[in-house]
């Protein structure tokens, strides 16, 4: 990709626990986000990762050019993913981003909000399926810009 072409592309990432993950919260999703986000920065994108509060990242506000923002999280069984996804999606939807990248199934429960508001979204399910939205008003409809591919 051309660095100049991506110079003004603002991307928000959510669904991971924290980047960089320096405690036991490091899983496969965190590895992917921790590798992908800095590479997008190198390509000229402006990337922000919404980290869950309460997950240790050493108090960093930036990592390899990636902006790190905390998002409110209730750390109770069954609530952490839901609460962090709701608040991260709200911040990302109204934060002036060009693309919102959702990681994992749990965070994708909020994918409908930015999609109906015309935001471009990418959803990566860290198993075998990737769903991408390329048109403003598409909502899981292949004939309206949704593309389902296997990884």
pLDDT surpasses 70 at 27 = yes
The answer to whether the bond into 125 is cis (omega within 30° of 0) is: no
Give CA separation, 103 vs 3, 88, 107, 143, 147, in Å.
Answer: 24, 12, 7, 23, 16
132 band by pLDDT with thresholds 50, 70 and 90: low
Both tokens of 94, joined, read: 């109204």
pLDDT surpasses 60 at 44 = yes
pLDDT surpasses 70 at 127 = no
Q: What whole-number distance in Å separates Cα of residue 56 and Cα of residue 39? A: 22
Q: What is the pLDDT of residues 57-106, one digit of tens each?
A: 778 899 999 999 999 999 998 899 999 999 999 999 999 999 999 998 88
């Amino acid at each position: 990709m051309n660095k100049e072409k991506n110079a003004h592309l603002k991307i928000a990432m959510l669904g991971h626990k924290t980047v960089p993950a320096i405690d036991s919260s490091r899983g496969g999703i965190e590895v992917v986000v921790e590798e992908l986000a800095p590479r997008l920065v190198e390509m000229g994108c402006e990337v922000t990762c919404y980290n869950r509060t309460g997950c240790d990242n050493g108090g960093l506000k930036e990592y390899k050019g990636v902006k790190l923002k905390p998002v409110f999280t209730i750390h109770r069984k069954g609530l952490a993913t839901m609460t962090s996804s709701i608040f991260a999606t709200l911040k990302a939807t109204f934060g002036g981003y060009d693309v919102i990248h959702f990681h994992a199934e749990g965070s994708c429960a909020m994918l409908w909000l930015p999609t109906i508001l015309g935001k471009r979204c990418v959803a990566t399910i860290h198993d075998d399926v990737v769903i991408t939205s390329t048109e403003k008003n598409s909502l899981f409809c292949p004939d309206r810009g949704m593309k389902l591919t296997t990884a």
